Amino acid sequence: MPLYPDYHAQKKEDSARIFLYSTIFLSIIMRTLYQPAVHSPCLCQN
């Protein structure tokens, strides 16, 4: 019986960690994707 709540807490902790890592990963991807889009108008104007 005591193992059941611990398992749920572990599962919640794992899902929170996965969410955090995926958010960081997505922010890095968005930054790398948007950097050329941000820099190319400056290059075109110059």
What is the pTM (predicted TM-score) of this model? 0.51
In angstroms, the CA 30 to CA 32 distance is 5
In angstroms, the CA 27 to CA 19 distance is 12
Give the pLDDT of residue 11. 84
Q: Give per-residue pLDDT as tens, 1-46.
A: 555 667 777 788 889 999 999 999 999 988 888 776 665 555 555 4
Give the tokens for residue 20.
């955090």
In angstroms, the CA 46 to CA 42 distance is 6
